[in-house]
């Protein structure tokens, strides 16, 4: 898209514009250059995943553009980078007709199916060996985009294939979709492009974690979440979910001057054109292969790599590469004859729902868990699946004895997609949610507007006490190695442990007599427990299992105090003033620190040696790394990465998540890869070894 010369030019422009910002000497004449520069950096970031400026620098340039446009709104163009951000809410999504119906694909499941299909393709084309383009079958929501005179004019969902919903504003929130592209260089006046909108596995997980913190049921898979996000009426919310788009098919073109480009003659050429114009089209992922044997081999090889991809792929699509041959082969009423999908092993299965059990979590939330006849899905046998809450059961009308459709997408937890109502025989029974806590018998309550039934006997309900201890010791909390749930439950049942402070007063003389507890394992456990006393404050806060307080909020809270008990003196208002703390979170913290028993527990922990002080806060202002930023890459040989990072923070430095010009030091271990390469390109980043790092720390 940008050759070396152009990149250098734009990088120089970037520097010049940044210096104008610094001196406040920018004006309207910089407008076009500024937009070019912003588009360039969006491309580096969203398409190549290889940014050349820091987020901060990008934001500065973006704000400069906003200011110039605000001073004279007549200068705004529809493809200006500022026009992604929509203000207000979308009313309705009007129905629009696709220029060409969005057909589906024929499916194949094994090599034999592909051999059959290839035979037909050879017959229809009259060739001995057909050239195919093979690319991933992206598992998301399909969209169609129309560009006219180089501008994105319309984005739509697939709908019924003939008509879809117009979602242009939401599409503009997807940063990898260019608002304008120089199709005119190929003589193209109007073009309709198809593609798939995806949510990466990582963003999907983040989003589900966020839902879980709000006690909301998770979404089934990244596909549903991409499709759902596209239909949200608030474009700002759409922007937050970080969707991505792969464009894989040109369905319609009008030209206004002849093009000499060879690219327009083949499918792979079209993908190449899209890539050159700044789209994310299958690039390294696609292969042009002659003959079906090579295709079959590539499909199998790709399936092996399926779990290593950052996004979900449910198969491969094989397309006849020559567009003239595609025309010759034509379409049936629901699929083209020149393409076929090769589906990977299903990650769905059906099974029978035999029973529902109820689990009580550390916050008292009662979660129904479906027990199904165990079925293998994607290499794992699934027998238990969370049903989340009573509303989930109600909405999906799930009944005992039902045949249920179960999905396990990638590394995502299994999920009941639906009950198959048609398979009912009449003996199925409605699920009756209990009105009493299945563990302590306390009456369950469901506050107005919430989906979760809760046991509020929080200090006495055994399930909650045990779950709180388990959470306290867990890896992301106090990280007491070797003190997993089985041991916590065992010690609790034997009466060795009854609350969190009890972890630090275990009766080792009694434990010594237990099976499986030799001197060595006892010493290891003792040591792990001892080490946990020094965990940073944010871990302790998270470990306490206060409702709505996840790891991120734990960090915000830790940074706000010098000692955990300082929170006793915080008003609700002060709590709400903290970054990212809303009324719900503030209320929960306030309630926790207003409870006498909680305060007594914290005082007890402190008397047993657990650190309630915030070391970082004391040190961060005076540390010798104050104001310096670090990033570690490769394998460190002398230090654990997390320890090294903590050393930086204790000395007042900051850890960055990626290489940019904001970075001061890149500490390089063994086998360092792309971060090192990137850092070499930025003059201001100091690249140092682990030893050099240790000498800086002193
Ligand atoms: S080509 C006329 N290529 O799979 C042919 N489709 O099951 C247009 N899909 O409706 C489709 N990745 O939403 C094509 N690389 C790819 C694809 C792809 C995913 C989706 C698309 C289609 C569905 C058919």
Q: Are 268 and 321 in contact (CB under 8 A)?
A: yes
Mean pLDDT of 323-338: 93
Structure tokens at 607: 């008397």
Question: How many helices (H) does the chain have, and how many strands (E)?
Answer: 25, 24
Q: Residue 616 pLDDT more than 70?
A: no
pLDDT of residue 410: 58
pLDDT single digits (tens) 125-145: 999 999 999 999 999 999 999
How many residues are present in the chain? 698
DSSP, collapsed to helix, strand or coil, labels residue 526 as helix
Mean pLDDT of the chain: 91
CA-339 nearest atom, ligand 1: 5
pLDDT at residue 637, as a whole number: 87
pLDDT number for residue 397: 96
Q: What is the mean pLDDT of residues 621-636?
A: 79
Catalytic residues: 137
Instruction: For 508-543, write each residue's pLDDT tens digit.
Output: 999 998 988 999 999 999 999 999 999 999 999 999
538-542, 560-564, 649-653: range with lowest mean pLDDT: 649-653
What CA–CA distance (Å, rounded) separates 491 from 487? 6
Query: In which band, very low, low, confident or very high, does the pLDDT at 620 lie, cut at 50, 70 and 90?
Result: very low
Is 103 a pocket residue for ligand 1 (Cβ < 6 Å)?
Answer: yes
How many other β-carbons are positioned within 10 Å of the β-carbon of residue 465? Answer: 21
- Taking the centre of ligand 1 as the mean of its atom positions, its distance from the CA of residue 304, in whole angstroms, is 21
Contact 401, 427 (CB under 8 A): yes
Residues 6+ away with beta carbon under 8 Å from 19: none
Q: Is 408 in the pocket of ligand 1 (CB under 6 A)?
A: no
Q: Which of 8-22, 200-214, 528-542, 579-593 has the lowest mean pLDDT?
A: 200-214
Is pLDDT larger for residue 487 or for residue 220?
487
327 versus 681: the higher-pLDDT residue is: 327
How many Å lie between the centroid of ligand 1 and the Cα of residue 353?
34
Distance (Å, whole) CA 149 – CA 340: 32
What percent of the chain has a predicted confidence (pLDDT) above 90? Answer: 66
The whole-angstrom separation of Cα 477 and Cα 134 is: 45
End-to-end CA distance of the chain: 46
| Two structure tokens written together for 689 | 């070894």
Question: Please, what is the Cα angle at 40 between 36 and 41, to 5 degrees?
Answer: 120
Residue 434: partners with Cβ closer than 8 Å, 6 or more residues away:
358, 366, 444
Taking residues 339-348, report their average pLDDT.
Answer: 90
For residue 654, the model assigns a pLDDT of 83
Which of 313-327, 333-347, 375-389 reaches the highest mean pLDDT? 313-327
The mean pLDDT of 544-568, rounded to a whole number, is 90
Residue with CA at minimum distance from ligand 1 atom 21: 142
Read off the pLDDT of each residue in 480-503 and give the average, rounded to a whole number: 95
* Gyration radius of the chain's alpha carbons: 29
Can you say whether the dihedral through the CA atoms of 517, 521, 523, 528 is positive or negative?
negative
* The pLDDT of residue 493 is above 90: yes
Mutate to test the pocket of ligand 1, among 158, 318, 341 (most ligand atoms within 8 A of CB): 341
Contacts of 671 (CB under 8 A, 6+ apart): 634, 635
649 lines ligand 1 (CB under 6 A): no
3-state SS assignment for residue 608: coil
Say if ligand 1 is within 6 A of residue 105 CB. Answer: yes
pLDDT at 46 over 60: yes
CA nearest 508: which of 526, 530, 484?
526
CA distance 694 to 698: 6
Rounded to whole angstroms, the Cα distance separating 566 from 158 reads: 55
What is the pLDDT at residue 622?
A: 52
Question: DSSP string spanning 96-144?
Answer: EE-SS------EE-SHHHHHHHHHHHHHHHT-SS-EEEEEEEE-SEEEE
Q: Provide the pLDDT for residue 347.
A: 84
pLDDT of 472 higher than 90: yes
Instruction: Between 218 and 225, name the one with better pLDDT.
Output: 225
Q: Is residue 598 over pLDDT 50?
A: yes
Q: Is the pTM of this model over 0.85?
A: no
Report how far ligand 1's centroid is from the alpha carbon of 135 (Å): 10
Mean pLDDT of 339-343: 96
**Listed range (153-157, 248-252, 273-277, 418-422) with the worst mean pLDDT:** 418-422
Tell me the CA distances in angstroms from 452 to 40, 449, 455, one per residue in order: 47, 9, 10
Computed from CA positions of residues 637, 639, 645, 649, in that sequence, does the dihedral angle turn out positive or negative?
A: negative
Sheet arrangement for strand 107-108: 107-108, 339-343, 313-320, 131-138, 287-290
Q: State the pLDDT at residue 621.
A: 46
Q: Tell the residue number behind the tokens 């106090």, with chain if given.
A: 478
Provide the pLDDT for residue 87: 66
Buried b (16+ CB within 10 A) or exposed e, 601-619: bbebbbeeebbbebebeeb
Residue 341 Cβ inside 6 Å of ligand 1? The answer reads yes
SS3 annotation, 52-84: CCCHHHHHHHHHHHHHHHHHCHHHCCCCCHHHH
Does any ligand 1 atom lie closer than 6 A to the CB of residue 537?
A: no
Q: Is 93 left (phi over 0), alpha (psi -120 to 50) or beta?
A: beta
Q: What is the pLDDT of residues 380-418, one digit of tens each?
A: 899 999 999 999 999 999 999 999 999 886 556 889 999
Residue nearest to atom 12 of ligand 1 (CA): 137
| pLDDT for 618 | 47
Q: Is pLDDT larger for residue 135 or for residue 559?
A: 135
DSSP code at position 47: I
Q: Reduced to 3 DSSP states, what percent helix, strand and coil does the chain have, rounded to the nearest 5? A: 40, 20, 35
Confidence of residue 624 (pLDDT cuts 50, 70, 90): confident
Share of the chain above pLDDT 70, in %: 98
Q: Given a cut of 70, is residue 257 above it in pLDDT? A: yes
Cβ 650 vs Cβ 623: under 8 Å: yes
| 3-state SS class at 332 | coil
């Amino acid at each position: 898209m940008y050759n070396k010369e152009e990149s250098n030019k734009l990088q120089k422009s970037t520097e010049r514009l940044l210096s104008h910002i610094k001196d406040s000497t920018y004006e309207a004449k910089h407008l076009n250059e500024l937009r070019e520069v912003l588009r360039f950096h969006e491309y580096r970031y969203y398409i190549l995943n290889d940014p050349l400026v820091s987020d901060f620098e990008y934001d500065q340039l973006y704000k400069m553009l906003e200011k110039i446009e605000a001073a004279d709104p007549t200068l705004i163009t529809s493809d200006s980078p500022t026009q992604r951000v929509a203000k207000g809410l979308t009313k309705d999504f009007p129905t629009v007709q696709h220029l060409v119906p969005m057909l589906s694909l024929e499916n194949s499941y094994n090599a034999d199916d592909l051999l059959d299909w290839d035979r037909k393709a050879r017959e229809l084309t009259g060739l001995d060996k057909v050239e195919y383009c093979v690319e991933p079958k992206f598992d998301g929501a399909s969209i169609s985009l129309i560009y006219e005179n180089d501008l994105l004019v319309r984005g739509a969902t697939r709908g019924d294939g003939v008509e879809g919903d117009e979602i242009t504003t939401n599409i503009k929130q997807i940063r990898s979709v260019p608002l304008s592209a120089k199709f005119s260089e190929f003589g193209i006046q109007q073009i309709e492009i198809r593609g798939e909108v995806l949510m990466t596995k990582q963003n999907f997980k983040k989003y589900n974690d966020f839902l879980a913190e709000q006690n909301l049921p998770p979404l089934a898979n990244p596909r549903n979440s991409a499709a759902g996000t596209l239909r949200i009426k608030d474009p700002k919310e759409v922007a937050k979910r970080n969707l991505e788009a792969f464009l894989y098919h040109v369905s319609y073109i009008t030209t206004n001057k002849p093009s000499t480009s060879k690219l327009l003659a083949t499918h792979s050429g079209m993908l190449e054109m899209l890539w050159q114009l700044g789209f994310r089209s299958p690039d390294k992922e696609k292969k042009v292969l002659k003959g079906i044997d090579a295709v079959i081999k590539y499909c199998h090889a790709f399936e092996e790599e399926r779990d290593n991809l950052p996004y979900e792929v449910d198969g491969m699509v094989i397309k006849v590469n020559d567009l003239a041959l595609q025309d010759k082969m034509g379409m049936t009423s629901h699929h083209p004859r020149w393409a076929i999908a090769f589906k990977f092993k299903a990650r769905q299965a059906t099974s029978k729902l035999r029973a529902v059990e109820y689990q009580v979590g550390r916050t008292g939330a009662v979660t129904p868990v479906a027990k199904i006849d165990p079925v293998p899905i994607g290499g794992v046998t699934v027998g238990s699946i969370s049903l989340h809450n009573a509303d989930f059961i109600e909405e999906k009308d799930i009944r005992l004895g039902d045949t249920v459709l179960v999905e396990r997408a990638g590394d995502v937890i299994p999920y009941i997609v639906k009950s198959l109502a048609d398979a009912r025989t009449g003996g199925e029974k409605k699920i009756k949610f209990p009105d009493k806590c299945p563990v302590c018998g306390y009456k369950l309550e469901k506050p107005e507007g919430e989906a979760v039934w809760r046991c509020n006997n929080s200090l006495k309900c055994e399930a909650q006490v045990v779950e709180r201890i388990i959470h306290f010791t867990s890896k992301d909390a106090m990280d007491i190695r070797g003190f997993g749930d089985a041991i916590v439950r065992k010690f609790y049942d034997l009466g060795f442990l009854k609350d969190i402070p009890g972890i630090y007063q275990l009766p080792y003389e009694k434990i010594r007599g237990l099976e499986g507890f030799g001197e060595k394992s006892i010493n290891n456990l003792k040591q792990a427990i001892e080490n946990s006393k020094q965990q940073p404050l944010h871990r302790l806060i998270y470990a306490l299992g206060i409702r709505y307080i996840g790891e991120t909020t734990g960090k915000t809270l830790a940074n706000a105090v010098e000692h955990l008990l300082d929170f006793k003196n915080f008003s609700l208002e002060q709590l709400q003033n903290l970054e990212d703390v809303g009324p719900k979170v503030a209320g929960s913290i306030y309630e926790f620190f207003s409870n006498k028993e909680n305060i007594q527990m914290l005082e007890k922990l402190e008397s047993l040696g657990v650190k309630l002080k915030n070391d970082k806060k004391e040190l961060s202002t005076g540390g010798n790394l104050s104001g310096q930023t670090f990033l570690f890459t490769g394998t460190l040989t002398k230090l654990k990465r997390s320890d090294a990072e903590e050393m930086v923070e204790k000395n007042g430095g900051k850890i960055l998540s990626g290489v940019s010009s904001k970075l001061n030091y890149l500490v390089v271990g063994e086998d360092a890869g792309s971060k090192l390469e990137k850092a070499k390109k930025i003059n201001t980043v100091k690249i140092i070894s682990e030893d050099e790092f240790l000498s800086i720390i002193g």
